[in-house]
Each structure stands twice: as structure tokens, then as C-alpha cells.
Amino acid sequence: MIDIKLLRANPDEYRQAARAKNISCDLDALLDVDRRLLDAQRELQDIKTAQNKAGKEIAQLQGPAKQAAIAQMTELKKRAKELSDTVTELEPKFQELMLLVPQPADPEVPLGRDDTENVELRRVGEVRKFDFTPKDHIELGTALDIIDVDRGVKLAGSRNYVLKGAGALMHQAILRLALDQMVAKGYTLMTVPVLVNESVMEGTGYFPVGRDQAYLCERDAQALVGTAEVPVTAYHCGEILAEADLPRKYVALSTCFRREAGAAGKDTYGLYRIHYFDKVEQVILGPNDVSASKAFHQEILRNSEDMLNALGLPYRVVNVCTGDLGQGQVQKFDIETWMPSRGNYGETHSASRFYEFQARRLNIRYRAADGSLKFCHTLNNTVIASPRVLIPVLELYQNADGSVTVPPALRPYMGGMERITGRA
RNA sequence: GGAGAGGUGGCUGAGUGGCUGAAAGCGACGGUUUGCUAAACCGUUAUACGGGGUCAUGCCCGUAUCCCGGGUUCGAAUCCCGGCCUCUCCGCCA
């Protein structure tokens, strides 16, 4: 959520920002509702003032004089009712429109229409060259009996799967390695609800834009989260934190549920785009300071790179262009990991910086040293998401005989297993 | 799922129609006293929005807020209705 005062003062800046993000948004309608709402509120306030004043006087009066004064007030009350009806009608419209306004991107974000115009910042690691014909992760996983797509589909429809045996073990090993790395860096581990109130989805910016991506439990007005970012970021909603307690650094593992609406026919093969997966997510709540936020952004990016380096996976970092940014993000760095079967880098991580956007919606504030109240800044990034990351792991660590070498960092979490051979 | 009790400021806790944005206590902050600390004493101690004022901060005026939303009333923390949440007991259960 943006600050309406900033929009009033400089609507053109927000018009341009929406255009750059390729998000349509009727700012004129919003400004119109805002003006009418303010007018009604001002007039209503004046009437309240008169009512309050008269009320005190009536308390002192007696007899006919009191009756006459009360009769007058009854007239005033009719006008107050009209105005308050207007306010009641306009307020939800105002809220509804405010929830659609995009946060302007940072100046250092490259202008662009879509993900083809993202700017590569760096490449890390060597892309493996095979001296045999490599298999893709589904061929490997099926032959080794560690991935079972057919039965996943039988259970839950397309984009579902079952990991079994060493596949499921490796999945858990990756998640646990990620948690251990983050805890070692001082992040507080938490478990969080994955079925949350709709207000939490709205507060983090996933509703109303993007509502069609979520599984809804409408009977309970709740939704399944697509990422632990949602409950973790909202953990402190409605609270006032102490500045001394910032930043708050959290990490959580959760199952993530995504409908992938509108993605029909896209990435239909394999474990790339699926309806459920597990993800370790890092979230920072920081002070209202742009340079501090930028530093945290680099920190969470580095954390994820540490994870990929531990797994020995080649990747690149891209600066996501304006057209590929979400509504609330001021800047986003994606990490894309090399996936042999795609012959390309594929997105595995997404590090976002929001400034106040989420904190305003969630009402997360802190008491600054000077006594004033300020909105926090929020950031988040993937630490690891599996099974998507199993794609590069299995494909890059495969051997000519169809077995897969276990990355050394995972072996302690897999009972010392060095190789997946199919008899596992 | 059944039956009860309850939601007041940072916290505890008064308050059943106007004098209550809200007693009292605790905590916190500022000050006095004081070898230091402690104690004692004095003072301060909500937020949002609108308006005024200022170079700006301080500031001044108004409105709203005692879980949320409606209603009754000239006037609601207080009365009525609906919702949400918490707690206790019983039942069920991973």
C-alpha cells in the first residue's frame, strides 16, 4: 500500500510507475473517490463538533428549553446520517482502489517489458559438459524409482508428483541443510500456519491482485499460502516494535500451494511448475531506511548464493526489469540455476525488497529513537525450494550408468549415502 | 461439538447513559535530592485523520478510537443485535 498523501502530491510519478510496471490502475478514479470522501468527512466532522457542543449544553437545560434544543438536534442528525452514509459508501471503494496501486520501482531497476529484458548481473560456477548423453530429471528419477509423476497425478491431478526413497531423502536433506545454514547465520527459525486468513494474503500483497493463484477455503475465509513469506511477514502485523529489536530475521520451512492459473500448457513437463512444493524462506523486517534495506537485500541474496555454492550448482543473478516486477516490489533479484534439460538457466530464487509497501498493509510499525512511529521495511528471498532444485541437482550430478552422485554437503543428512543407484 | 465466563491505554485494573481519552497502581521517560547505586519526591507518558500555524520542528483547534460492525438516544466504554477472539468445564481426537 502506498501513502495516499504522496499520491495526492505527485500523481504523475505514480502514473509513470504503474506504466513502467505494466500494471493498469485507475488513479483518476482513486483521486476522485479520495476527494469526495475527504469532503464528506470534513463536513461530517463539523457537524459532530456542533453535536458535541450542543450535547453538553442540553445536559444543563431543563423543561421546554431542553425539549426545543433536542428537537433542533434531531434535524442536525438527519444531515449527519446522510454524510455518514456517503462515507460508508466511499470508504470501501477507496480501500479497494488503494489495494491496486503499485509501489514505484527503484531508480536502479532496468526499464523493460517482461522477463526477456531482465539484466544479468553475474554468472557463478562452471556449466558441466557431458561426455555422454545426459538424461533429464524425470528419466533419471523414474528409472531410479525416486520420482513418481504418474501416481502423483492419479492422486491429485496434473502438476502433482510423489518423491520416494532416496528422492524423498534428498529433498529433506536439502531443506534441512538450508535451515541449518540460516540458523547458523542467526536467523530465527519458525513454523507457521500455511492456511491463513485472507487479510494476511491481502496484507502481504498477494490479494486482491493474484487471488486466482491461491487455493481458497472459502467456507472459512482462508487461503493456502504460496510461500512462507506470507505468514512470516505478517507475524508482527498490527504491532509496534522497538527500534532496538530491528532487524528481525526469520526463516521458515513450509509447503507452498500454487494453482498456476493462466499457466496452462507452460512448463508442463517434470518438476518445474507444480501445485505443491516445499520451500525454505528468509524474511527480514528492518527499519525505515533505504540504504539499510539495500544492504539487507544484498545479505539475503548472498545467503541464497551460499546455499547454491554448498550444493555446487552453477547459477546466475539477474536484476529483474520493471515490467517483470510485482505490484509491491521496488526491486527484485532472481537467481537462476543451470538446468541441463532446459538448456538454460531456470529461476530457483527470488529476492524482493518492498520498503513500506507490505508494512503499511499489515500495519507493522516501530518506535524510532526520536519517539516517532514509522513503518518497517520488509524483504524476503528463497533459501531453497524443492523439488525444483532437484532438477539441477539430479541432472548435473548424474553418471553415465544412470546413477546420481549425492552432493557432499547433503551426505550427512542422508545417512552418509554417496550415490543413488536405484537399489536405495 | 455442548455449557459457561470474558475482551478497557505499554501492563494490571476501576468504571451501568452527559462531569471519562478514560480513576488508581505498575512500568517507561525527564527532573530534584544524593560519595555511587537504590529509595523518596515532582512532572511527563496513545494513535489516526482533518484544519490552522511555522523555513522546519515544537505548537494550537477539531473529529474518531475502551475487540470489530450495526442499532437505540439530543448524547454510548456504559443499553440492544450480529460477528471475531480468548479462557474454563464436558465430549471427541492427531
Asked if the model's pLDDT at residue A212 lies above 80, the reply is: yes
- Nucleotide with the nearest C1' to A197 CA: B84
Three-state SS sequence of chain A: CCCHHHHHHCHHHHHHHHHHHCCCCCHHHHHHHHHHHHHHHHHHHHHHHHHHHHHHHHHHCCHHHHHHHHHHHHHHHHHHHHHHHHHHHHHHHHHHHHCCCCCCCCCCCCCCCCHHHCEEEEEECCCCCCCCCCCCHHHHHHHCCCEEHHHHHHHHCCCCCEECCHHHHHHHHHHHHHHHHHHHCCCEEECCCCEEEHHHHHHHCCCCCCHHHCCEEHHHCEEECCCCHHHHHHHHCCCEEEHHHCCEEEEEEEEEECCCCCCCCCCCCCCCCCCEEEEEEEEEEECCCHHHHHHHHHHHHHHHHHHHHHHCCCEEEEECCHHHCCCCCCEEEEEEEEEHHHCEEEEEEEEEEEECHHHHHHCCEEECCCCCEEECEEEEEEEEEECCCHHHHHHHCECCCCCEECCHHHHHHHCCCCEECCCC
Interface predicted TM-score (ipTM) = 0.86
> What is the predicted pLDDT for the residue at A55?
81
Query: Quick one: what percent of chain A has pLDDT higher than 90?
Result: 80
- Nucleotide with the nearest C1' to A44 CA: B63
pLDDT band at A256 (very low <50, low <70, confident <90, very high): very high
Mean pLDDT of A323-348: 97
Q: Is there contact between A373 and strand B, defined as CB under 7 Å from any strand atom?
A: yes
- Nucleotide with the nearest C1' to A56 CA: B18
In the numeric block, which cell numbers belong to residue A98?
Answer: 488503494
Mean pLDDT of A115-138: 97
Asked if the model's pLDDT at residue A320 lies above 80, the reply is: yes
> What is the predicted pLDDT for the residue at A424?
45
The amino acid at residue A71 is A
Through-space separation of residue A364 CA and nucleotide B45 C1' in angstroms: 22
Mean pLDDT of A103-132: 96
Asked if the model's pLDDT at residue A399 lies above 60, the reply is: yes
> What is the predicted pLDDT for the residue at A423?
60
Select which of A254, A350, A352, A386 is catalytic: A350
Q: Which nucleotides of B are covered by protein (CB under 7 A)?
A: 18, 47-51, 62-64, 70, 74-75
The domains of chain A, with CATH numbers, are 4-98 (1.10.287.40), 115-420 (3.30.930.10)
User: Would residue A258 show up in a list of annotated catalytic residues for this protein?
Assistant: yes
Through-space separation of residue A67 CA and nucleotide B74 C1' in angstroms: 9
Select which of A159, A258, A353, A360 is catalytic: A258
Mean pLDDT of A375-401: 97
- Nucleotide with the nearest C1' to A69 CA: B74
- Nucleotide with the nearest C1' to A60 CA: B18
Select which of A248, A361, A365, A388 is catalytic: A388
> What is the predicted pLDDT for the residue at A264?
85
Through-space separation of residue A194 CA and nucleotide B93 C1' in angstroms: 21
Asked if the model's pLDDT at residue A51 lies above 90, the reply is: no
Through-space separation of residue A190 CA and nucleotide B58 C1' in angstroms: 43
User: Would residue A347 show up in a list of annotated catalytic residues for this protein?
Assistant: yes
Mean pLDDT of A231-240: 91
Average pLDDT of chain A is 93
| Protein residue minimizing CA–C1' distance to B61 | A49
Residues 29-68 of A with CB under 7 A from strand B: 38, 41-42, 45-46, 48-49, 51-56, 58-59
> What is the predicted pLDDT for the residue at A183?
98
The pLDDT tens digits of the residues spanning A186-206 come to 999 999 999 999 999 999 999
Select which of A19, A36, A273, A316 is catalytic: A273
The pLDDT tens digits of the residues spanning A2-34 come to 999 999 999 999 999 999 999 999 999 999 999
